[in-house]
Amino acid sequence: MWWAGSDLNTGLNRTRPAPLSSRLLEFLTDGPLSLRDLTERVGGSGRISACLKRLWKKGLILRTRQPVFIRNSVHKGAAGVVVNTRAVNYYALIDDPRINSDFVPFSEKKKDGRDLGIKSKAKRILEFLKQNNDKAFYSVEIRNALNLRNCDVMSNMRRYEKKGLLFIRGYQTHDHRSPFQKGYILTWIDQKKLREQALKEAFERTSEILTSEASSNTVYESVRLVRDQLLTSKELLSRPYLRDVLHLSKDQTARAIRRAMRLYPDINEVKIFGFQYYHHDSVASVELAAQIEMKKNYIRKTKGRDNRLGHNWEACVEWFIDKFTEGAEFVKQNHRRNMDPRRITLHLLKPVGGRKRSAEVDRVWKVTPGLFSPTVTYVLECKWSVVNRRSLDDFINVLKWSTDFGSDTENGREVKKGIIPVFGAGAFNPTEKVVVNGRRITLVQYASGMNIQLLKPSDFNMKLREHGVDKKVTVQKICRVCRDEKDVRAVLDVIWKEPSKAMEVLSEAMARNQEIFEFEKVLAS
């Protein structure tokens, strides 16, 4: 209502709005309205909700017993339409003939099931778990057994978890806990027993329900098999061993181990020289320490000599490239680890093989043939052992998907122009045949088709013969007798300077590094 008033100072008539309560009562004569409806009519006053509550307490209006849930769509411009659900209460005048029993007057006593002797949902769930205290249940099973909704179970049970009455188990990730396929697992914690014992029994009940799922779920089956192997072996097990037992791929085995460690805290990981091993908590600390030493010796035996020969071979290839390539300028990187600065780390746009974000190449050098000629970049990958097609494909894919040497073309991802891959290998598999367009070709022909330049020990031995070095001195022997990369470069420098003393230099290097050979023999015994 609007009414006229007089201004004493000016004598002019001005209009002022009626009280908010009167205006709300006037709008409610049109029928039941919600808070949002009244806000739109009044004009956005922030006092409407408090005023409605005062009118309800005074008995001038009625309100719905339970809120009505309305599906609401909100346009967010470029983000599209966001859909949410609002709980809405409606208000009406007492004498409105259009209302029914859903509208109730204000009462200090809450109108819910408690005044009728009805048990709450939380109490029903709690009593169900207490009566079945020797079992564990998924939240979905509890929902079906008590005829509840999905949101009724966990929203109520988290309060009792904080009070220490329930044990709730989920799938543990690095940062949070998430439900299993059938929801969280819940079980009662016996309050009459010692806390430690009661929690242990509750955890075992949740483990039993997970184990029973293994017969119908391949993921749980792999997880159970991983834990069974660790329980029965009582020793450190490697990833390749578990992969052989599970009959899975590398990625599938890694996922199964990660899931097992999240589900069972008694599974532990130990890294030895970068290799991953796993054991159960039941392995005694003294026995575990002894097994770690055994694994260290095994790794030194199988990997130590191979690493030394591999690095020596890289230095050997680098020396010949530097010697016979005019204007070769090697690229260097500063590494945090103690690594050769000429070994280059590339950033990958997608995983290649076992590499996810980065990969290493052994050497990168640039050559500018002339003043007006474009610079050519060579990328080297070395491998001491026998090379097969997979090694060549892996090398090319690393270059394709690297940010430095790959580019997008009409035919997909390709190596940039001006980049020449070079592969130095101790030997190429002579028996492997590659099928290309229905034709069987050799591995060397396959590499040539991919524009890969191949470097072999025989190529370098030929250069030594041309320089007058005894045929008994080979790059293979130099790699075997030298201590490290620095030693390889020093030996080759002396041999090239005085080729007639090549055998003498090789013998001195063998005598100088005798302790390394003796150590490798001890490990191999």
Q: Does domain 2-113 have CATH number 1.10.20?
A: no
Inform me whether the pLDDT recorded for 430 exceeds 80.
no
CA–CA separation, 318 vs 328, rounded Å? 11
- The 10 Å Cβ neighbour count of residue 90 is 19
**How many Å is the maximal CA-CA distance in the chain?**
126
Q: What are phi and psi of 276, to 5 degrees?
A: -95, 130
Comparing CA positions, the residue from 368, 394, 393, 364 lying closest to residue 379 is: 364
Q: Average pLDDT of the chain?
A: 83
Kindly give, in sequence order, each residue whose CB lies less than 8 Å from that of residue 364, ignoring residues fewer than 6 positions away.
330, 331, 344, 377, 378, 379, 380
Q: Does domain 218-283 have CATH number 1.10.10.10?
A: yes
- Reported as a single tens digit per residue, the pLDDT across 439-494 is 888 888 888 888 888 888 989 999 999 999 998 999 999 998 898 888 999 999 99
Q: What are phi and psi of 96, to 5 degrees?
A: -70, 120
> What pLDDT is stored for residue 7 in this prediction?
46
How long a stretch of residues is the chain? 525
Higher pLDDT, 437 or 400: 400
- Reported as a single tens digit per residue, the pLDDT across 359-391 is 888 899 998 877 778 889 999 998 887 888 888
- Reported as a single tens digit per residue, the pLDDT across 495-509 is 999 999 999 999 998
Higher pLDDT, 238 or 113: 238
- The 10 Å Cβ neighbour count of residue 185 is 24
- Reported as a single tens digit per residue, the pLDDT across 221-242 is 788 788 888 887 778 888 888 8
Q: Do the domains at 2-113 and 218-283 have one common CATH topology?
A: yes
Q: What does the domain layout of the chain look like in residue ranges?
A: 2-113, 119-215, 218-283, 303-524
Inform me whether the pLDDT recorded for 114 exceeds 60.
no
Inform me whether the pLDDT recorded for 8 exceeds 50.
no
Inform me whether the pLDDT recorded for 425 exceeds 60.
yes
> What pLDDT is stored for residue 489 in this prediction?
92
- Thinking of the domain 119-215, which architecture would CATH place it in? Orthogonal Bundle (1.10)
CA–CA separation, 181 vs 336, rounded Å? 43
